[in-house]
């Protein structure tokens, strides 16, 4: 019997490059991941963050398992003061970041929004607490009135959006005057120019930015063993290569890109002018 092996990553890369198909692919991938991972109580789908020397962040015993991913959220969110503000997180994943920030930074309210309805239902059940709500919705058509929030958070999700400038316009619309947009994501080298142009053209004022590629790479190393274990236990063999690439373990395109400079991971703080 002849076995035909089809390399899946080049096919996936090609499909992601076709803008109309990108959102459709993510609509299938993320609910699939939620169904596979919820039994393991996976609360974070983002990468991770670790400084040199290591961060000294006091965590509760329940949060310690997710320290590397929590540290990324902490880095992004503490670029501004969230206490007493109405906060929106766009693309909240499995809600681990939303839960942590709502418990520790004391916003007046925290709303997590995600396109993945299966993930939203997981969040609603797993992270039930006063002042924290989860809704299904589209990052490019935010289902909120203008000026509804004092801060918007977006961690490692905008590379999935077919129309990134439209997302930025929506962020500006739902922010109050003086509100902050706390943002982190990555791009490959061939997308640097468009990313920088879109951010420069955004209807927001840049307050600060930093390249955190080295910090994210250190965080990935901390998460690697757990990520590989989850991939081997939860994904069928023909999807494990995609899973390793998605998880950013050593040898993956993203991990090696961060090492070589082919990928840049950056964090930003923007404000909406009055």
pLDDT at 22: 58
Give the whole-angstrom CA distance, residue 143 versus residue 211. Answer: 31
Give the whole-angstrom CA distance, residue 77 versus residue 79. Answer: 5
Q: Average pLDDT of 182-203?
A: 97
Instruction: Name the pTM for this structure.
Output: 0.90
Residue 137: alpha-carbon gap to chain centroid = 15
Residue 129 included in any domain: yes
Report the relative pairing of strands 149-155 and 263-271 from DSSP bridges: unpaired
Residue 5 included in any domain: no
For 252, the 3-state DSSP assignment is coil
Residue 226 included in any domain: yes
Residue 3 included in any domain: no
pLDDT at 63: 97
Residue 32 included in any domain: yes
Cβ contact 223:48 at 8 Å: yes
What angle do helix axes 253-260 and 213-234 make, rounded to 10 degrees?
A: 170
Q: What is the pLDDT of residues 68-79, one digit of tens each?
A: 999 999 999 999
Residue 105 included in any domain: yes
Q: What is the pLDDT of residues 100-112, one digit of tens each?
A: 999 999 999 999 9
pLDDT at 27: 72
> Number of C-alpha atoms within 13 angstroms, CB side, residue 145?
2
Report the relative pairing of strands 132-136 and 109-114 from DSSP bridges: parallel
Question: Number of structural domains, the chain?
Answer: 1
Cβ contact 47:220 at 8 Å: yes
Residue 4 included in any domain: no
Domain that holds residue 210: 12-271
Q: What is the CATH number of the domain that holds 167?
A: 3.40.50.150
The first and second tokens of residue 22, run together, are 């990108």
Residue 36: is its pLDDT beyond 60?
Answer: yes
Q: What is the pLDDT of residues 167-179, one digit of tens each?
A: 999 999 999 999 9
Examine residue 53 and say whether the peptide bond preceding it is cis (omega within 30 degrees of 0): yes
Q: Which helix (H) or strand (E) holds 125?
A: helix 117-126
Residue 7 included in any domain: no
Examine residue 179 and say whether the peptide bond preceding it is cis (omega within 30 degrees of 0): no
Cβ contact 70:134 at 8 Å: no
Q: How confident is the model at residue 16 (pLDDT cuts 50, 70, 90)?
A: very low
Q: Average pLDDT of 192-208?
A: 97
Q: How confident is the model at residue 15 (pLDDT cuts 50, 70, 90)?
A: very low
């Amino acid at each position: 019997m002849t076995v035909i092996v089809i390399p899946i990553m080049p096919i996936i890369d090609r499909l992601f490059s076709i803008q109309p198909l990108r959102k459709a692919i993510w609509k299938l991938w993320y609910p699939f991941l939620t169904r596979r991972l919820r039994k393991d109580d996976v609360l974070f789908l983002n990468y991770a963050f670790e400084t040199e020397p290591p961060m000294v962040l006091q965590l509760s015993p329940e949060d310690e398992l997710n320290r590397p991913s929590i540290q990324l959220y902490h880095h992004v969110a503490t670029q501004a003061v969230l206490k007493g503000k109405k906060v929106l997180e766009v693309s909240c994943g499995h809600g681990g970041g939303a839960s942590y920030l709502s418990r520790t930074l004391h916003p007046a309210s925290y709303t997590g929004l995600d396109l993945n309805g299966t993930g939203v239902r997981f969040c609603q059940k797993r992270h039930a607490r006063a002042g924290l709500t989860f809704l299904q919705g589209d990052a490019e058509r935010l289902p909120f009135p203008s000026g509804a929030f004092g801060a918007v958070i977006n961690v490692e999700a905008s590379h999935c959006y077919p129309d990134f400038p439209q997302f930025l316009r929506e962020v500006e619309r739902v922010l109050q005057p003086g509100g902050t947009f706390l943002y982190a994501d990555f791009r490959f080298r061939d997308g640097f120019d468009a990313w920088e142009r879109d951010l420069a053209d955004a209807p927001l004022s840049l307050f600060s930015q930093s390249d955190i590629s080295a910090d994210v790479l250190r965080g990935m190393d901390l998460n690697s063993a757990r990520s590989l274990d989850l991939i081997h236990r939860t994904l069928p063999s023909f999807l494990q290569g995609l899973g390793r690439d998605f998880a950013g373990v050593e040898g993956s395109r993203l991990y090696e890109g961060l090492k070589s400079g082919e990928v840049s991971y950056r964090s930003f703080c923007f404000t909406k002018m009055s």
